[in-house]
């Protein structure tokens, strides 16, 4: 009689299966689902097109640009004029905007674009890793004994 051994770490197999499902779903959304919806719709993505990726959790890493705060993990070092005018006012700073000389009435500091892009990538990678970990945990918990 042939004796089969049951794996002792079934939770690991369940978690790995769930991670594979997560990756396959992510590839499906990026290569088939969104391109097909975009081809069928002339005005971009329709309103209901994000329901399925949201249910599976894949919408959050895909929309990480809106989830991660601007300049997360960056020091604000670049001055930016948020209130520009051609007219001078007390305490205004001479400022050239789009080739036009004028005055900046309100200036704020923001992170450099390189640091902002880097922090956005780190945030997106972090959200993808969190999604994989969540799928792993769900797979490990729901595996039948």
**Cβ contact 104:81 at 8 Å:** yes
Does 28 have pLDDT greater than 90? yes
Does 31 have pLDDT greater than 90? yes
How does residue 145 score in pLDDT terms, banded at 50, 70 and 90?
low
| pLDDT tens digit sequence for 90-109 | 888 888 888 888 888 888 88
Q: What is the mean pLDDT of the chain?
A: 85
> In the prediction, which pLDDT does 121 show?
85
Enumerate residues 6+ apart whose C-beta is below 8 A from 26. Answer: 58, 128
Residues 16-36 have a mean pLDDT of 94
Listed in sequence order, the DSSP H helices in 1-145 are: 10-28, 34-40, 51-56, 59-62, 64-67, 113-142
């Amino acid at each position: 009689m042939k004796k089969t051994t049951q794996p002792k770490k079934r939770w690991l197999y369940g978690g790995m299966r769930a991670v594979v499902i997560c990756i396959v779903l992510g590839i499906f959304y990026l290569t088939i689902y969104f391109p097909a919806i975009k081809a069928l719709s002339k005005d971009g993505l329709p309103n209901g097109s994000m329901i399925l990726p949201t249910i599976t959790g894949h919408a959050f890493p895909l929309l990480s640009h809106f989830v991660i705060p601007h300049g997360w993990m960056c020091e604000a070092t670049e001055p930016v004029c948020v209130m520009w005018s051609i007219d001078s006012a007390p305490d205004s700073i001479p400022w050239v905007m789009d080739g036009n000389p004028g005055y900046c009435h309100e200036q704020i500091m923001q992170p450099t674009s390189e640091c902002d892009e880097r922090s956005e990538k780190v945030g997106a990678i972090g959200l993808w890793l969190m999604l994989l970990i969540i799928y792993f945990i769900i797979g490990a918990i729901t595996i039948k004994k």
